[in-house]
Amino acid sequence: MDRGATQLGTRSQPGLLHEALLADGDETFVAQVAAFFRAGLEEGPTVAVLSRRHWALLREELGADAERVSYTDCDDFYIRPIDALASYDATLRRHTANATSVRVAGEIPLGPTRSGWADWIAYEAILNRAFADRPAHVLCVYDTRTAPDPVINAVWRTHPHVAAGADDTGPRYHPPHDVVAEFTPSPRSDLPLRALALTDDATAFREALSAELAAAGASRAQVLNMLVAALEVFENAIRHGGGPCALRAGLVDGWFVCEIEDSGSGLDDPLAGYVPPTPGKSGGEGLWIARRLVSRLELIPADPGLTVRLWL
Amino acid sequence: MVSLDGGAPVLAATGDVSFLGCVIAADVSTAIDVIGGEDAVYGVEDRQARRAGTHLDLAGGSGRQTVAESVNDDFEVVVDSTAGQETLLRITIGKHYDFVVALPSGEPDATTRALTSARERQLVMAAAAGDSEAYAELVNAFLPAIARVARLYRGVARVERAELLQEGVVGLLRAIRRFDPSLGTPFWPYATWWVRQAMQQLVAELGRPAVLSDRAQRSLARIREARRAHVQTYGREPSSSELAALVELSHEHVESLLAVERASQPLPTRVGDDAGGFQTAEVALVDPVAEEEYERVLSRLEIEAVRDLTNTLTGREREIVFKHYGLKGPPQTLREIGEELGISAERVRQIEERTLKKLRAATLKLPE
């Protein structure tokens, strides 16, 4: 269906082109995404991270060209935002190792819950910073018939370019910091946590933490994940925060929670730990590692300083 | 009560309503939240006008009962069958939507309910962290429920039950990895969305025929051969990563080809493909999952390894970390561990440091 004004963008500068397609149905989806891929096939690698149903439709449209597109099932790719960022990072690095540009079309399985939608809205904002310097044209596809209103509204704020047929009057792009801050749930206060013996010795901290985890009945895999994650945060507190000033742990609604507080200069970046580290370049990957290993990581201003809260 | 004005329905943790499940309508175009109160069920669509539901006797009964009262003429809820711990409801909204949702019915039957909700949550969180035993236990517990979902797709041509079960298990894993217990919703209703999604995708995919080029056919032949040889040597199917390594194609390329292969056979006439979308499930008895179906699903489980960082460790590294942190018996000091291994406590500490660095590096390396 041709609304006349649905035009996809072209990369005119070396870095990321992050674009959204608001499709009003399968016909628009197939026509636009096929055109997106065809335009890219001569330039370099093309990657589809789509539902199997959409890929089946697209394959029919692309015919023989479909074999030149790499496909991954979106349900396996978009697990949590941090996992999708890691997968995207790996995908982009792999495909740009021998090419100067790559095209990716992706659709996010939003899932049935509102908290899930908020996570993915924040994810879209993060993409803008995480991959700003990658030579990629990323097309995020949304189906306006089925995607929830809050998600569609946010698309305009998280994508510098939106291809949406004749209706081009939505609110405009916002900086990632603001969007992520808005869609990060406020941390709960006054959690019933127990204080751990204050120490700046990493081994003593690990022993105390693992005792708490064992008492909570955590599985081996969970214990190791939490130990590695908490160690990163602990070492950050020493390196950047003047050493921890409080250590807490306990069970909250069946979750195991650990908090590490310092009274250093604090951290006002809701995207901290979401930008994939550069391979071979060390420094600054502690929060990324921690986010990968635990269910949720919260950065809470301690005034002064910072509390990092890890949810297992 | 459910707030139905503006925005999506509130998913309350406690109180008089709860999120019971989410289903995709027959034409795969709309997701519908099913909200249940003590005596009422609502199907709520996000994008369109709210439609309220009817009073329904959730304590169950068996067989088929049509609910007498309707708040809204368009909305009918019919109890299709009650078996064990779940009730299948068929919900029709006007002419456009006709779908079935499974609801927990009445008190859990002690003999059929495998997991208490505390145990269930514990297993889900452990499995999400990479504990493959927890995952296996969850699959075992939920396979009968997955099989009941699969029953909805009976009559769709070319779809085998075994394939649907496989897809359902994949959907379960996705739900496990995404589940957020702080929502307050029970796990299974949340999981139904993902289980159905996986099955829906399979069904949709199989509906599209595709033509294979010569090159694709040759690659597929190599894949089939590699698969056959692997089964012969190792007695199990290779994972798609292993297949990719064997045929020297990228993981994504292999997945693409397998998807094409699934859909490339000619499509006979679809059965049950009328405007209603789903065939009415016959009144069901408990549908036992055959032993060999369990076997097939579980053997695939071993292949699709859930992320477990300890895979990267040597035996000694694992032993030291497990012993120091009480992951295998009571915790021991570095000195005690050193005495057992015949090395100094300091050496143990160094190995442990290295091990933790290894775990850290393994996290940075994921995913492949």
Give the tens place of pLDDT for each residue, A283-301: 779 999 999 988 889 999 9
pLDDT at B72: 34
B247 domain residue, yes or no: yes
Query: What are B173's two structure tokens?
Result: 């894993």
Do B3 and B99 lie in one domain? The reply is yes
User: Which of A 278-307 lie inside 8 A of B, CB atoms?
Assistant: 279, 285, 288-289, 292-293, 295-296
Cis preceding linkage at A171, omega within 30: no
Do B236 and B90 lie in one domain? The reply is no
pLDDT at A200: 93
pLDDT at B51: 38
Cβ neighbours for B173, distance < 8 A, ≥ 6 positions apart: B127, B135, B304, B306
In B, which residues are within 8 Å of A65 by CB distance? none
A228 touches chain B (CB under 8 A): yes
For residue B50, the one-letter residue type is R
Domain end among A183, A217, A235? A183
Distance of CA B157 to the CA centre of its chain: 22
Do A205 and A285 lie in one domain? The reply is yes
Contact between B8 and A148 using a beta-carbon 8 Å cutoff? yes
- pLDDT at position B37 over 60: no
For residue B315, the one-letter residue type is G
Looking up tokens 């995480």 gives: A130
Q: Which residues, in sequence order, are bridge partners of residue A105?
A: A48, A139
Contact between A228 and B356 using a beta-carbon 8 Å cutoff? yes
A188 touches chain B (CB under 8 A): no
**Arithmetic mean of pLDDT, A43-61:** 92
Contact between A53 and B360 using a beta-carbon 8 Å cutoff? no
In order of A61, B185, B242, B256, B350, the CA distances from B231 in angstroms are: 35, 41, 12, 21, 42
Domain end among B81, B107, B133? B107
From the CA of A93, how many Å to the nearest CA of chain B?
12
Residue B141: give the domain boundaries: 114-207+269-307
Query: What are B117's two structure tokens?
Result: 């909700």
Do B247 and B273 lie in one domain? The reply is no
Domain end among B86, B107, B128? B107
Q: Which residue of A has its CA nearest to B123?
A: A219
Of A64, A150, A295, which is closest to B213 when you measure between CB atoms?
A64
φ/ψ of A246, rounded to 5, equals -160, 145
Do B315 and B344 lie in one domain? The reply is yes
Domain end among A183, A206, A241? A183
In order of B87, B197, B259, the CA distances from B80 in angstroms are: 8, 22, 34
B291-331 pLDDT tens trace: 666 666 655 554 444 456 777 788 889 889 889 988 878 88
**Arithmetic mean of pLDDT, B17-28:** 44
Nearest to B34 by CA among B98, B112, B91: B91
φ/ψ of B100, rounded to 5, equals -120, 135
- Supply the mean pLDDT for chain A: 89
A233-276 pLDDT tens trace: 999 999 999 999 999 999 887 789 999 999 999 999 999 999 99
- pLDDT at position B238 over 90: no
Report if pTM > 0.95: no
CATH code assigned at A33 = 3.40.50.300
A10 domain residue, yes or no: no
Do B173 and B97 lie in one domain? The reply is no
B214 domain residue, yes or no: no
Of A56, A59, A218, which is closest to B204 when you measure between CB atoms?
A56
Given pLDDT bands bounded at 50, 70 and 90, which one contains residue B5?
very low
Long-range contacts of B84-92 (CB under 8 A, 24+ apart): B84/B109, B84/B112, B84/B144, B84/B286, B85/B109, B85/B112, B85/B113, B86/B145, B86/B148, B87/B58, B87/B60, B88/B148, B88/B281, B88/B284, B89/B41, B89/B56, B90/B280, B90/B281, B91/B32, B91/B34, B91/B41, B91/B43, B91/B53
What is d(CA B126, CA B268) in angstroms, rounded to the nearest whole number? 44
What is d(CA B306, CA B173) in angstroms, rounded to the nearest whole number? 9
Q: Which among A146-150, A161-165, A225-229, B28-32 has the top mean pLDDT? A: A225-229
Of B178, B250, B327, which is closest to A79 when you measure between CB atoms?
B178
Best mutation target among A55, A95, A278, A294 (most B Cβ atoms within 10 Å) is: A55
From the CA of A10, how many Å to the nearest CA of chain B?
26
User: Where is pLDDT greater, at B64 or A210?
Assistant: A210
What is d(CA B254, CA A231) in angstroms, rounded to the nearest whole number? 38
pLDDT at A286: 92
Do A103 and A171 lie in one domain? The reply is yes
Burial class from Cβ neighbours inside 10 Å (0-12, 13-18, 19+) for residue A279 reads exposed
Enter the DSSP assignment of A254: T
**Complex ipTM value:** 0.85
Chain pair A-B, CB pairs under 8 angstroms: 189
Of B29, B208, B326, which is closest to A56 when you measure between CB atoms?
B208
Do B196 and B276 lie in one domain? The reply is yes
Q: Which residue of A has its CA nearest to B352?
A: A203
From the CA of A227, how many Å to the nearest CA of chain B?
9
Do A295 and A243 lie in one domain? The reply is yes
- Supply the mean pLDDT for chain B: 64
- Per the structure, the count of domains in chain B is 4
A242 domain residue, yes or no: yes
Query: What are B221's two structure tokens?
Result: 């032949």
What is d(CA B296, CA B160) in angstroms, rounded to the nearest whole number? 13
B254 domain residue, yes or no: yes
Q: Strand, helix or coil at A299?
A: strand
DSSP calls for B134-173: HHHHHHHHHHHHHHHHHGGGTT-TT--HHHHHHHHHHHHH
From the CA of A118, how many Å to the nearest CA of chain B?
13
Do A62 and A206 lie in one domain? The reply is no
Given pLDDT bands bounded at 50, 70 and 90, which one contains residue B33?
low
- pLDDT at position B105 over 50: no
Query: Within 13 Å of residue B327, how many CA atoms lie on the same side as its CB?
Result: 24
Do B182 and B283 lie in one domain? The reply is yes
Of A63, A207, A217, which is closest to B122 when you measure between CB atoms?
A217
Domain end among B307, B330, B357? B307
In A, which residues are within 8 Å of B11 by CB distance? 113-114
A146-150, A297-301, B111-115: least confident range: B111-115
A201 touches chain B (CB under 8 A): no
In A, which residues are within 8 Å of B364 by CB distance? 277, 279, 285, 288-289
Do B198 and B303 lie in one domain? The reply is yes
A255 touches chain B (CB under 8 A): yes
Query: What are B355's two structure tokens?
Result: 């091990």
Torsion of CA B262, B265, B267, B273, to 10 degrees: 0
User: Apex CA A234: angle with CA A232 and CA A240, to 5°?
Assistant: 95
Contact between B202 and A52 using a beta-carbon 8 Å cutoff? yes
Best mutation target among A22, A26, A28, A52 (most B Cβ atoms within 10 Å) is: A52
Do A166 and A34 lie in one domain? The reply is yes
User: Where is pLDDT greater, at B212 or A58?
Assistant: A58
B215 domain residue, yes or no: no
Do A138 and A276 lie in one domain? The reply is no
A23: enclosing H helix or E strand: strand A17-23
pLDDT at A155: 94
Query: What are B20's two structure tokens?
Result: 């019971």
Nearest to B79 by CA among B281, B227, B235, B312: B281
A261 domain residue, yes or no: yes
Do B286 and B140 lie in one domain? The reply is yes
Distance of CA B65 to the CA centre of its chain: 30
Query: What are B256's two structure tokens?
Result: 């693409």
User: Apex CA A242: angle with CA A237 and CA A243, to 5°?
Assistant: 50
pLDDT at A61: 92
Enter the DSSP assignment of A292: H
Do A25 and A89 lie in one domain? The reply is yes
pLDDT at A297: 94
- pLDDT at position A195 over 70: yes
Do A46 and A160 lie in one domain? The reply is yes
Domain end among A183, A205, A236? A183
Q: Strand, helix or coil at A139?
A: strand
A78 domain residue, yes or no: yes
Q: Which residue of A has its CA nearest to B329?
A: A214
Do A99 and A49 lie in one domain? The reply is yes
What is d(CA B183, CA B179) in angstroms, rounded to the nearest whole number? 9
Residue A269: give the domain boundaries: 194-311
φ/ψ of A274, rounded to 5, equals -105, -10
pLDDT at A130: 95
pLDDT at A124: 97
Given pLDDT bands bounded at 50, 70 and 90, which one contains residue B290?
low
CATH code assigned at A218 = 3.30.565.10
User: Apex CA B204: angle with CA B200 and CA B208, to 5°?
Assistant: 165
Do B69 and B169 lie in one domain? The reply is no
pLDDT at B287: 41
Of B22, B213, B331, which is closest to A67 when you measure between CB atoms?
B213
Positive/negative CA dihedral, B27, B29, B31, B34: negative
Do B245 and B327 lie in one domain? The reply is no
- Per the structure, the count of domains in chain A is 2
CATH code assigned at B351 = 1.10.10.10
What is d(CA B193, CA A113) in angstroms, rounded to the nearest whole number? 10
A263 touches chain B (CB under 8 A): no
φ/ψ of A306, rounded to 5, equals -145, 140
Given pLDDT bands bounded at 50, 70 and 90, which one contains residue A24?
confident
Do A152 and A23 lie in one domain? The reply is yes
Given pLDDT bands bounded at 50, 70 and 90, which one contains residue B65?
very low
User: Where is pLDDT greater, at B57 or B252?
Assistant: B252
**Arithmetic mean of pLDDT, A199-217:** 92
Q: Based on C-alpha coordinates, what's the Rg of chain A?
A: 22
- pLDDT at position B203 over 50: yes
A188-192, B221-225, B314-318: least confident range: B221-225
Q: Based on C-alpha coordinates, what's the Rg of chain B?
A: 24
B216 domain residue, yes or no: no
**Arithmetic mean of pLDDT, A6-25:** 85
B213 domain residue, yes or no: no
A45-54, B79-88, B220-229: least confident range: B79-88
Neighbouring CB atoms inside 10 A of B239's CB total 16
In order of A147, A293, B22, B90, the CA distances from B48 in angstroms are: 11, 39, 16, 20
